A and B are shown apart, each in its own frame.
Chain A
Amino acid sequence: MCQIRLENIQKRFGDNPILADIDLTVEAGEFCVFIGPSGCGKSTLLRLIAGLDDASAGDIHIDGARVNDLAPAKRDVAMVFQSYALYPHMTVYDNMAFGLRHLKLGHDEIDRRVRAAAESLHLAPLLERKPGALSGGQRQRVAIGRAIVRQPKVFLFDEPLSNLDASLRVKTRVEIARLHRALGRASMIYVTHDQVEAMTLADKIVLLKPLAGQDGVPSIAQVGHPLELYHNPRNRFVAGFIGSPSMNFIDAALLNANAEGLVCSAGGISLPAAADATGLASASTVTLGIRPEHIVVGSGPLKGRVSHLEHLGEHSYAYLETALGTTPLVAKLSESSAQIGDTLTFSLPAPRLHVFDGAGDALPRLQRHDATPAALATH
């Protein structure tokens, strides 16, 4: 029972708007990830919820109570900092116990909680060490342990994995997911700029956009399940941000549109797409988008010359120079027999094309791409 509700949150530093018009509900027990490019205010939003910064306007409710005027400690949240924020002069044990000693918990209870957390985080042999004698991954676990022992309603993570090396990051990511399942009811809000973390951990992704508040643009670009953002991005920003390598964009002009779809032209080539453009005037400019993994290479009416290849082992990415536009299209190849300089035939399947209008908003797709894992499984 610890829903977090943000109502019309605004945050300005001086005259600079950082966050604008944020309305968001994080349900009890949900794992919510704030993601966005640097400068979008995702860490600031987390700090507003923690109470380390004050919102310029708007209300924050935790567990049904308005907490705007409550000190951080009274909000029943625990935070894991990007820098870990361990107390350098205290042992691992004291780092975890220190925050509890003011809660009138009793020595035995504190000891029990610290030892339980240390056990579950494999920190038991390190309890007497100081942070300086720990590796990055161990420090990270101490920081998480310090949050766990408080048994808060809400966990806040501020880019907790960004200081770890790649393999440790994957391991700790799995640990955090396991922790979330184990803790059951606690809600988690997790800030990251790494979309793999966001896609793998989140029940709900909140994609924030920088330059909020200018021209009345709200901060939140889209909220939803990771696959919803992947399959049905609401605008060009979301489409370009989610997915790696990112979506290919092709500038095009609308030729005609009807209930079955639309046809547009790019570089003199006409391309059909399954999107509803009946509201748009003929010849209006649109942007087509297609993900590298959705380009069908090997057959089709289109031709592209391979200008660059990236081999990732399991698959490769080919950069194709085409008549469609000046920027090469990135296409995923499952087998890597292609050479630089080869000409490949390919097609852009109409149901896979995303179409964005002049303002960057997505046109409704005619074929629904179901986003939830359950729906995917039934396909």
Chain B
Amino acid sequence: MTSQTLTSAAPARPSTAESSLQRSRQRMAWLLVAPALVVLLAIAGLPLARTLWLSLTDAQLSDLSTRQFVGLANYIGDAGVLADPEWWGAVKNTLWFSLLSVSLETVLGLAVALMLNHPSRLKTLLRAAVLVPWAIPTVVSAKMWTWMLHDQFGVINAMLLALGLIHQPLAWTADPDLAFTTIVLVDVWKTTPFMALLILAALQMVPSDCYEAAKVDGVPKWSVFLNITLPLITPAVLVAMIFRTLDALRVFDLIYVMTSNSRTTKSMSVYVREQLIDFQLAGYGSAAATLLFLMIALITVSYMALARRRMEGH
């Protein structure tokens, strides 16, 4: 009789002990993330909320205190952001810019990473050298390229002329037909190292014995790359692409420094700054900024959902 009561009572005890343990663990977890949450709220949440609020008013930058609530007029009104062809031009530019630069960077970054992944004495040196463009502040490298691409004194024109590839100097940043391509190429130059290093890290995670097994099996090099290397680094490449896409969608400094007045290269961020600072339209500019935020959030969420589905499908 006693043994029966003991056995029936026994399972109940550990479970309550466990749940109180679980509760205290959960409390601890919240306690540990709380500082980060507070900081995030203060530096990201508050400004975002303020921007959202401003976007619903007709505030001017010169005097933010005298403002009137105008509802969604800044968005969908007759003179709202969504009715401005200039805004849609900026959206188109930004999306094209992101698509082109991220794809080029990924392909080039993969190539550079594959080269750096080969064992060689120069590897450490090359790895450091490759990082240089990434380490230079964007404004500095933008200025540097502006000079190198200068239509009269630029070294690029001089070199191309000397090689006979062009017959007269090109206005790389001023010519509306060339400016966009120039911006994309300079961005690719600057951010390929970032891609290359992230992909290199992924390449080094591929177990070397997989390559040796393929070697003993006589699998051709292209097939090893397509069927072993590529599938194994894809998750890391997707993450790297997300990082770069988010960056590219917000592109500002490069364009602002190199081609600030060109309509063909105006990005969403440049548009926002123009409205906010040049035209002093705090309310309208905030609406554009909010749209920029929503667009990036939407692209990020759908990209991550797609990537996750792809992973699970694998």
Q: Which A residues are within 8 Å of any B CB, using their own CB?
A: 50-52, 71-74, 77-79, 81, 83, 85-89, 98-99, 101-103, 146, 150
The CA-CA distance from A103 to B217 in the complex, in Å, is 9
Question: Which listed residue, B217, B227, B228, touches A150 by the CB 8 Å rule?
Answer: B217
Is B216 touching A89 in the complex (CB atoms < 8 A)? no
Contact A85 B218 (CB under 8 A): no
Q: Is B214 an interface residue (CB 8 A)?
A: yes
Interface residues of B (CB under 8 A from A): 207, 209-210, 212-220, 223, 227-228, 231-232, 314
**Quick one: closest B residue to A130, CB to CB?**
B314
Q: In the complex, how many residue pairs between chain A and chain B have their CB atoms under 8 Å apart?
A: 64
Contact A85 B231 (CB under 8 A): no
- The reply to whether A85 and B207 form a contact with Cβ atoms under 8 Å apart is yes
A-B contact pairs, 29 of them (CB 8 A): A50-B216, A51-B215, A51-B216, A52-B215, A52-B216, A73-B215, A73-B216, A73-B217, A73-B218, A73-B219, A78-B217, A79-B213, A81-B209, A81-B213, A85-B207, A87-B213, A87-B227, A88-B207, A89-B232, A89-B314, A98-B214, A98-B217, A98-B219, A99-B217, A99-B219, A101-B223, A102-B217, A146-B213, A146-B217
Q: How far is the CA of A101 from the CA of B223 in the complex (A)?
A: 10
A102: chain B residues at CB < 8 Å are 217-220, 223
- Are A99 and B214 closer than 8 Å at their CB atoms? yes
* A-chain residues with CB within 8 Å of residue B231 when the two chains form the complex: 89
- A85 contacts B217, CB within 8 Å? no
Instruction: Give the complex CA separation of A86 and B228 in angstroms.
Output: 11
State whether A72 touches B218 (Cβ < 8 A): yes
Nearest-Cβ distance from residue A30 to partner chain B, whole angstroms: 20
| Contact partner, A71, options B207, B218, B223, Cβ 8 Å | B218
How far is it, in angstroms, between the C-alpha of A72 and the C-alpha of B220 when the chains are bound?
Answer: 12
Within the complex, the shortest CB–CB distance from B211 to chain A, in Å, comes to 9
Q: How far is the CA of A335 from the CA of B82 in the complex (A)?
A: 95
Task: Please measure, in the bound complex, the distance between the C-alpha atom of A121 and the C-alpha atom of B212, giving whole angstroms.
Answer: 23
Interface core residue of B218, B231, B232 (most chain A CB under 10 Å) = B218
The interface residues of chain B lying within 8 Å CB-to-CB of A150 are: 217
**Within the complex, what minimum Cβ distance (angstroms) separates A144 from chain B?**
13
A74 to B215, CA, bound (A): 10
Option from A72, A74, A78, A85 in Cβ contact (under 8 Å) with B210: A85
Report, nearest first, the 7 A-B pairs whose CB atoms are least far apart. A73-B218, A99-B217, A85-B209, A85-B213, A89-B231, A72-B216, A79-B216
Is there an interface contact between B212 and A81, defined as CB atoms closer than 8 Å?
yes
- Name the residue on A nearest B220 (C-beta): A102
* A78 to B213 CA separation, bound complex (whole angstroms): 9
Most interface-central of A71, A74, A79 (chain B CB within 10 A): A79
Q: How far is the CA of A280 from the CA of B314 in the complex (A)?
A: 72
CA distance A20 to B176 in the complex (A): 70
Question: A77–B212 Cα gap in the complex (Å)?
Answer: 13
